Amino acid sequence: MKKLVITSLLVVLSVSISMFAWAADEPQAIEEAQEEKISGEIAASILSAYIWRGQELTRHSVVLQPSIMVSYRGFAASLWGNLDTKPYAVDGHKNSSNFTETDVTLSYSRAFGILQAGVGYIYYGLSGSAAGGEDLLDSQELFVSLGLDTLLSPTLTVYKEIDHYHQWYATLGISHTFSLHEKIGLKLAANVSYLKSEDATTYPKFDKNSAATDKKFNNFHDGVFSVSLPVAVIKTLTITPTLSYVFPLSDDAKYEMRGRGLKGTANPSDRDSSYFYGGIVLSYTF
């Protein structure tokens, strides 16, 4: 009887230890299982303008920007497009279709404690588009990013164009989301950038009259302030009203942003170098 009791106690103790160890490892196992699953997002933005790196790429029209992204164990692939409801025509150059851009992005990211590091490649399909009075050529970029999972989530990203428009473009961004309700948040974000051209022909510096020179652009470029209000309709569906303000960070950037403006005026000095735009973003995660 004594041996039976001792044996029973040992069995119960062993089972208890096993269950405790399993319970302790369960969160890690769940996290690893989630990493094994393919996840992604399908989104569509309806915006009052398309502003890219301080450049006005639409004029007096609404743009639709659908996208899809899938990720698996740190690897991600995305497809993004821009549909202009009223393509512009500047100096005889006109978009050949309403669908002005298609981008493909491939990336890999990994966390090292609070540090998030990533690398990636972007292909910009721009054939048939026009901007600043010239037809655009397809472009390719490589990028690296470093972010901190801490207050304001600071993230530094450096892009290197490797195809036609040889340049370096670096951004430093911060953001924070305040919880207004269990299903509603308020996200504030800010971003500053620096642009260094390696080719005065494809990316020149502009003078005070917003005319291209034979010098290379090398200065702080555009800044962006954004306010958005993500509303979780259901767990996987979010509707986000958003508003952004884009502005130059230097006189060189102001002249360049005016020079590449699409207001269609004869005098570049009458064009804008800062922009307000906004709209709605719908996103579904899986």
Do residues 8 and 79 both lie within one domain? no
Q: How far apart are CA 285 and CA 68, in angstroms?
A: 10
Render pLDDT for 64-77 as a digit per residue (tens, 0 to 9).
999 999 999 999 99
Length of the chain: 286
Do residues 159 and 276 both lie within one domain? yes
Residue 14's domain comprises 1-36
Is there a contact between 101 and 131 (Cβ–Cβ < 8 Å)? no
CATH code of 81's domain:
2.40.160.40
Do residues 262 and 124 both lie within one domain? yes
Which pLDDT band, with edges at 50, 70 and 90, does 89 fall under? Answer: low
Which pLDDT band, with edges at 50, 70 and 90, does 44 fall under? Answer: very high
Do residues 29 and 83 both lie within one domain? no
Q: What is the pLDDT of residue 54?
A: 93
Do residues 18 and 54 both lie within one domain? no
Do residues 239 and 103 both lie within one domain? yes
Q: How far apart are CA 278 and CA 127, in angstroms?
A: 26
Do residues 103 and 28 both lie within one domain? no
Distance in angstroms between the alpha carbons of the first and the last residue of the chain = 57
Do residues 32 and 95 both lie within one domain? no
171 strand-pairing partners: 157, 193
Do residues 180 and 278 both lie within one domain? yes
Do residues 81 and 153 both lie within one domain? yes
Do residues 226 and 141 both lie within one domain? yes
Q: How far apart are CA 108 and CA 116, in angstroms?
A: 11
Looking at the 3D structure of the chain, how many domains does it have? 2
Do residues 144 and 116 both lie within one domain? yes
Q: For residue 160, is pLDDT > 90?
A: yes
Q: For residue 17, is pLDDT > 90?
A: no
